[in-house]
Chain A
Amino acid sequence: DAGITQSPRHKVTETGTPVTLRCHQTENHRYMYWYRQDPGHGLRLIHYSYGVKDTDKGEVSDGYSVSRSKTEDFLLTLESATSSQTSVYFCAIRTDSSTEAFFGQGTRLTVV
């Protein structure tokens, strides 16, 4: 499973509250990604990182921020959660030598 752990696995939160999702990897890979999965949309890239403190926006970054202070952790923060951010969030990593991404188990977030 490429040593990826996402936490929490499930979360219910209220509109307007801040939420942070964590992605932890055990193998020191350089590239990390956050995607959201929604019915009829497939997976869409939110943010990605190419090293400690090196991050950039993806396709659907509005309302999200990320941080990577250590190689092994990539945090996704919803500063003020909205119902439109109800989704399943997947973290992924890519090694320097591979072309494909390896995915974590996902976090199901419900904003009520």
Chain B
Amino acid sequence: AQSVSQHNHHVILSEAASLELGCNYSYGGTVNLFWYVQYPGQHLQLLLKYFSGDPLVKGIKGFEAEFIKSKFSFNLRKPSVQWSDTAEYFCAVRSMYSGGGADGLTFGKGTHLIIQP
């Protein structure tokens, strides 16, 4: 089964600082990789995804992530964070559970990001 590790459980930054959140996954064949964001009291929303092609993917709100296959990593970055980026961030990998073609996402434990004004 897939596993996902997020290295930073809590991160506190000041506005305009640069952000990088680490994510590593265990190998399991072809991977689909995702970053989701959860604002306080809300559901998960997709920030960006990678499934093939250019390993540098750009998402919403100025976020980007780089897939490095040799390192099994998919780190999330943003050059200049804003107070409104305060949220929980989850890295996820698509994994196969059965031959029926269904699959589910395996999530990391999340990173709680706090941006101080």
Instruction: Indicate with 1 or 0, residue by residue over B36-49, a CB within 8 angstroms of chain A CB atoms.
Output: 10000011111001
With A50-B102, A56-B98, A56-B100 already in contact, the answer to whether A40 and B109 are too (CB < 8 A) is: yes
Contact A42 B100 (CB under 8 A): no
The docked-state distance in angstroms from the alpha carbon of A71 to that of B102 is 15
Task: Give which listed residue, B46, B97, B107, contacts A42 with CB less than 8 A.
Answer: B107
Contact B46 A44 (CB under 8 A): no
Question: How many B residues have CB within 8 A of the partner chain?
Answer: 28
Chain B residue nearest to A102 (CB atoms) is B46
The docked-state distance in angstroms from the alpha carbon of A41 to that of B32 is 21
Contact A54 B109 (CB under 8 A): no
Contact B90 A106 (CB under 8 A): no
Instruction: Indicate with 1 or 0, residue by residue over A42-77, a CB within 8 angstroms of chain B CB atoms.
Output: 111100111000101011000000000000000000
Task: Give which listed residue, B9, B44, B106, contacts A103 with CB less than 8 A.
Answer: B44
Instruction: Indicate with 1 or 0, residue by residue over A21-47, a CB within 8 angstroms of chain B CB atoms.
Output: 000000000010101000011111100
Q: Does B72 contact A (CB under 8 A)?
A: no
Task: Give which listed residue, A48, A50, A90, contacts B44 with CB less than 8 A.
Answer: A90
Task: For chain B, residues 95 to 117, give those with C-beta under 8 angstroms from any C-beta of chain A.
Answer: 97-98, 100-102, 104-110
Selected A-B contacts with CB under 8 Å, 30 pairs: A40-B9, A41-B109, A42-B90, A42-B108, A42-B109, A43-B90, A44-B107, A45-B97, A45-B104, A45-B105, A45-B106, A48-B97, A48-B104, A49-B102, A50-B102, A56-B97, A56-B98, A58-B104, A59-B104, A90-B43, A90-B44, A99-B32, A99-B49, A99-B94, A100-B32, A100-B49, A101-B105, A103-B43, A103-B44, A105-B42
B interface vs A, CB < 8 Å?
1, 4, 9, 32, 34, 36, 42-46, 49, 51, 90, 92, 94, 97-98, 100-102, 104-110
A interface vs B, CB < 8 Å?
31, 33, 35, 40-45, 48-50, 54, 56, 58-59, 90, 92, 99-106
